[in-house]
Amino acid sequence: MKLILSAALVVALGSTAIAGGGASFVDGVWVGKGTFQMADKIYSCGDIKMKFVGSETSYQVHEAHMVCDELGKQTFAEIDKFTIDKDGVITFVEGTATTLKPNTKVGSVKGESLVTLNPIDNDKIDDIKLRLDGDFLIYDQIASKPGTTPDYALVAILTKEKPATEPKK
């Protein structure tokens, strides 16, 4: 009996960790470090910042920046919007730098893992994976024609940015 009660308690506590469901787990500003690849070059990125808006029924990619060796600061201001249905299917709504058509199904979210495969053109795919493990958001993006050297790829390990504290009076 104690084992059943303990298991039920673990399940109940575990479900509160992902309360809200959908893409709620990515909501916020995330900061960290990573590695960026472009063609045959690989760069270390000591400063990466990404902003996502996530809820049970929607997911938005807002602005991002990264500072990488030899590349300096790169800023990305594109905003892409997606909906998430009750089964976790992600559908593209609109974006600022894309050729995707609205209502294109591009991925899924399950638990604390989100995957989108956004067509770039007839051959190339922008493959993006986000996974929350504890306090770490693992961001993995590869833009390429499958089976070839990526045009670019980014792997980042991020933590949620802490809100700024007000100075003491």
Ordered structural domains, the chain, with CATH: 23-160 (2.40.128.20)
Distance CA 62, CA 122 (A): 25
**E strands within 3-68?**
28-38, 41-54, 58-68
Q: Does the pLDDT value for residue 152 go beyond 50? A: yes
Q: pLDDT confidence of 63, banded at 50, 70, 90? A: confident
pLDDT computed for residue 31 by the predictor: 98
pLDDT computed for residue 97 by the predictor: 64
pLDDT computed for residue 3 by the predictor: 31
Mean pLDDT of 47-63: 95
Q: pLDDT confidence of 167, banded at 50, 70, 90? A: low
Q: What pTM did the predictor assign?
A: 0.81
CB 141 within 8 A of CB 154: yes
Q: Does the pLDDT value for residue 131 go beyond 50? A: yes
Distance CA 114, CA 108 (A): 6
User: Phi, psi (5° rounding) for residue 43?
Assistant: -125, 140
CB 62 within 8 A of CB 97: no
DSSP three-state, residue 119: strand
CB 44 within 8 A of CB 155: no
- Long-range contacts, stretch 124-128, CB < 8 angstroms, 24+ apart: 124/151
